[in-house]
Structure 1
Amino acid sequence: MEEISPVDLSSVCQSCGACCGYSANWPRFSIESDEELAAIPEALVNDRQSGMRCEGDRCSALQGDIGKATACGIYAVRPEVCRTCMPGDAECAMARRKFGLPAIEAS
């Protein structure tokens, strides 16, 4: 029987980025404090001040190519919704499907 190697969850997001390109409505603000919101560069906040500015469905803070190599330009101050999306969860799976990427099975 062939043994399946576990996925390295510490680096899977940097080779994906699908959640950051799923929807212009997804990188929204919810429970951030005024101080946390002030730390996000104004140029990256949408006109309604309700979430991240997007180019199409892609968050303007996303750097790189989805499914290849990505990074968040404001990782240390990213919104709460970005912090709660975890590799292999329902949101991750939905975003990966949009880009034709295989599901991640977190153990």
Structure 2
Amino acid sequence: MPDRRLPSPPTSPCQSCGACCAYSRNWPRFTVEDDAEIALIPGYLVDDTGSGMRCTGNRCAALVGKIGVETACGIYDFRPVVCRECQPGDEECLTARRHHGLGPLEACPAT
């Protein structure tokens, strides 16, 4: 009988990186989000000024996992616009990867 399982979807290179989420405490900021969008983010993850994500050092508090190994965003569906705009292989991605001693990625489709 033929194997009828669907192939697994390709994983994003972000899931083995996370460098952009631990590059700068100033990076995960709110830019064009309205109050309703920000309200979807759990309050304990919003910084004290209400202008961005809470960070521990340079690492966003919503990031889970180990940089360069396996990572995920704890609020992926509600992440700020700046997080959505950083794409695998773009200049921001490459800057963050260099900061963490990770090699470059080739640009790939958005995930």
Establish whether TM, by shorter chain, passes 0.5: yes
SS at match of 2:84: helix
The whole-number CA distance in structure 2 between the counterparts of 1:27 and 1:51 is 6
Offset of 1:33 from its aligned partner? 1.3
- Provide the aligned length of Structure 1 versus Structure 2: 99
Which letter does structure 2 place at the counterpart of 1:86? Q
Offset of 1:10 from its aligned partner? 4.2
Deviations 1:64-107 (CA, angstroms, capped at 9, x unpaired): 00000000000000000000000010100000000000011126
Offset of 1:11 from its aligned partner? 1.8
SS at match of 1:35: helix
Instruction: Tell me, yes or no, if structure 1 residue 72 matches structure 2 residue 101.
Output: no
Ranges in structure 2 where 5+ consecutive residues have no aligned partner:
1-9
The residue aligned with 2:101 is: 100
After TM superposition, the runs of 4+ consecutive aligned structure 1 residues lying more than 6 A away are: none
CA RMSD of aligned residues (A): 1.1
- TM-score by structure 2 length? 0.86
Deviations 1:20-75 (CA, angstroms, capped at 9, x unpaired): 00000000000001110000000000001000000000000000000000000000
The whole-number CA distance in structure 1 between the counterparts of 2:53 and 2:67 is 18
SS at match of 1:46: coil
The whole-number CA distance in structure 2 between the counterparts of 1:29 and 1:106 is 25
Ranges in structure 1 where 5+ consecutive residues have no aligned partner:
1-8
The residue aligned with 2:5 is: none
Which letter does structure 2 place at the counterpart of 1:19? C
Q: Point out the more displaced range, 9-18 or 71-80.
A: 9-18
SS at match of 2:36: helix
The aligned runs of 1:5-84 (5 Å cut-off) are: 10-84=11-85
The whole-number CA distance in structure 1 between the counterparts of 2:96 and 2:23 is 5
Higher relative contact order (CA 8 A, sep 6+): 1
